[in-house]
Amino acid sequence: MKHQPTIVLILLISISLMLFVFDLTSKIESFKILFNYLLSPAPNLALKIINRQKELGEDIVSFVKIHQENRSLKEEINKLRYVETQNESLRKENSDLTSMLGLSKKSQQKMVAARVISRDPSCWYKTFIINKGRSSGINSNMPVIMFANNEINLVGRVADATKTTAKILLLTDSVSYVPVKNIRTQETGLIKGEEKSMLLLDYLLPFSDVRIGDRIVTSGIGEVFPEGLPVGVVHEVPLQDSIYYKKVLIRPLISWNKIGVVYILTK
Amino acid sequence: MIDIFSVFIVMILTLIVQSMISMYFPLYGMVPDLMLVSVVYFSLRKGTVFGEAYGFFSGILLDVFSLQVFGARAVIFTVIGYLVGRYSHKLDETKVRVQVIICFMSMLFYLLVFNLICAVFLPRSNVFHIYALLTEVIYTSVFVPLVFGLLNIWFRKTRKWSGKANRI
């Protein structure tokens, strides 16, 4: 029994080394994360506790956060599925009514993503160049939109297209005119560029009811821009200098300085 | 039986106290390793085999509750239990000076080997720093007399309870 401590030592070290060899660190870690999470009755409570226990490690916190995010995203997906089903039935109903009335059907449009590759500082509010052209199905007068802060906003239209690039005319260019309407009142007008960040909504009737915050979308008149593309919100209703038409300042939902990736609505 | 049970309680309590100190009293981010002090205590008091076994299981327990190489502390604590146990009969463990020196050396050995293992198995882990190591060793050494004193009281009490239980 003189060698008993040495035998025990060899035995225990062998077990420890086996733990090394089998590399149980990640498995034990996963088990710990699961154990900590299961011990807490609700994800919110778990998150509160974990935020207090800083030493538990960021990975556990991120695990719980991901789980919560996953849950909320699943809920969002379910809501969107419901909306999609409703949309589908409304689209069908719309299509049936359109054919019954003998109206021409609106074409379904596809989106082509493109990246801004050039923007001339001297024409900052006029044009920019994108990296897609005719070879990607892009042609003149196609609407250009972009997404920012979960909002879609009209950016302009294709002014000219080469095989691999296209020039986009911004809404802010002074030669840009877009037929629009006020969502709340359905009154129509024309958006004009003024080569600054704000847009001018012109040709509203003098007595038209326009309020600050009203959402302005494309009216679909003219067939260049499809109906319903957001252009901006009413920012200011200045004192009118014309007795024939009312002019209103529109604030776009996007920043003109943050245009990176745009989408071209092709036919 | 009651002896093993009380040792198990000591192990769990040490872990809890250690994590509480890490939460509320860290010194420059360093925490005293009370578990190692308890390994040294058992190796000095109960001999090599007990020290090894206690070192192994307490090491596994710490490995489970840490995010580093699994099994690293088990190996080191087992070796410390063995080495301290081997020389326990030559040392007077009742003297505070002896307790502190043994714990100081064990802690130094533990941190050096542990950082070496982490450097090999977790190459992206924090860079080992000599000042941090010394701070941790000294901070642990401060707690040694207190831990030894508390464990002495605990085992005196449990021995009394076990005596009463035997009489019943």
Residue B54 within a domain: yes
In total, how many domains does chain B have?
A: 1
Average pLDDT, chain A: 80
**Dihedral sign of CA atoms B50, B53, B55, B61 in order:** negative
The distance between the two most distant Cα atoms of chain B, rounded to a whole number of Å, is 58
Average pLDDT over residues A177-185: 90
Average the pLDDT over each of A150-159, A171-180, B66-75 and give the range with the smallest value. Answer: B66-75
**Cross-chain residue pair A8–B53, CB shorter than 8 Å:** yes
Residue B20 within a domain: no
A111 touches chain B (CB under 8 A): no
Q: Is the pLDDT of residue A52 over 50?
A: yes
β-strand pairing of A230-236 with A188-193:
unpaired
Q: What are phi and psi of B54, to 5 degrees?
A: -65, -40
Q: Which pLDDT tens digit goes with each residue over B98-149?
A: 889 999 999 999 988 888 887 777 665 555 677 778 888 888 888 889 989 9
Average pLDDT over residues B150-160: 82
User: Which residue range is the domain that position B124 belongs to?
Assistant: 31-148
CA–CA gap between residue B132 and residue B29 (Å, rounded): 9
Q: Which pLDDT tens digit goes with each residue over A220-252?
A: 888 788 888 899 999 988 777 777 788 899 998
Residue indicated by tokens 């000076």: B97
B168, with CB counted inside 10 A (0-12, 13-18, 19+), is exposed
Task: Give percent above pLDDT 70 in chain B.
Answer: 86
CA–CA gap between residue A66 and residue A37 (Å, rounded): 12
Lookup: tokens for A72: 């909320």
**Cross-chain residue pair A28–B63, CB shorter than 8 Å:** yes
Residue B22 within a domain: no
Strands (E), A59-142: 110-118, 127-130
State the DSSP string of A149-211.
TTEEEEEEEEEEE-SS-EEEEETTSTT-EEEEEETTT--EEEEEE-SSSSEEEEEE-TT----
**Cross-chain residue pair A20–B64, CB shorter than 8 Å:** no
Higher per-residue confidence, A255 vs B30: A255
Residue B121 within a domain: yes
Lookup: tokens for A223: 């067939």
Q: Cβ contacts of residue A62 below 8 Å, gap of 6+?
A: none
- Which of B21, B52, B114 is best to mutate for the A interface (most A CBs within 10 A)? B52
Per DSSP, B95 falls in state: S
CA–CA gap between residue A59 and residue B21 (Å, rounded): 22
User: Tell me, what's the pLDDT at A264?
Assistant: 92
User: Tell me, what's the pLDDT at B123?
Assistant: 63
Cross-strand pairs, A250: A199, A234
**Cross-chain residue pair A12–B52, CB shorter than 8 Å:** yes
Query: pTM of the prediction?
Result: 0.47
Residue indicated by tokens 């192994």: B56
- Which of A9, A11, A24 is best to mutate for the B interface (most B CBs within 10 A)? A9
Lookup: tokens for A211: 């309020």
Q: Spell out which residues of chain A touch residue B25, defining contact as CB-CB under 8 Å.
A: none
Reported confidence tier of residue A216, pLDDT bands at 50, 70, 90: very high
**Cross-chain residue pair A16–B49, CB shorter than 8 Å:** no
Residue B3 within a domain: no
Reported confidence tier of residue A41, pLDDT bands at 50, 70, 90: very low
In our burial notation (b when 16+ CB lie closer than 10 A, e otherwise), range A74-110 reads: eeeeeeeeeeeeeeeeeeeeeeeeeeeeeeeeeeeee
Cα distances (Å, whole numbers) of residue A24 to A38, A252, B15, B67 = 21, 55, 21, 11
B25 touches chain A (CB under 8 A): no
User: Tell me, what's the pLDDT at B124?
Assistant: 58
Structural domains present in chain A? 110-266 (2.40.10.340)
Higher per-residue confidence, B162 vs A109: A109
Residue B43 within a domain: yes
CA atoms within 13 A of residue A189's CA, in its CB half-sphere: 29
Q: Is the pLDDT of residue B168 over 60?
A: no
User: Tell me, what's the pLDDT at A33?
Assistant: 63
User: Tell me, what's the pLDDT at A39?
Assistant: 47
Q: Spell out which residues of chain B touch residue A6, defining contact as CB-CB under 8 Å.
A: 82
B63, with CB counted inside 10 A (0-12, 13-18, 19+), is buried
Reported confidence tier of residue A32, pLDDT bands at 50, 70, 90: low
What chain A residue is nearest to B57 in terms of C-alpha separation?
Answer: A12
Tell me the nearest-neighbour CA distance from A8 into chain B, angstroms: 7
User: Tell me, what's the pLDDT at A44?
Assistant: 54
Is B71 within 8 Å of B63 (Cβ atoms)?
A: yes
Task: Give percent above pLDDT 70 in chain A.
Answer: 80
CA–CA gap between residue B77 and residue B39 (Å, rounded): 7
**Cross-chain residue pair B70–A25, CB shorter than 8 Å:** yes
- Which of B20, B25, B78, B79 is best to mutate for the A interface (most A CBs within 10 A)? B78
Reported confidence tier of residue A40, pLDDT bands at 50, 70, 90: very low
User: Tell me, what's the pLDDT at A142?
Assistant: 92
Task: Give percent above pLDDT 90 in chain A.
Answer: 14
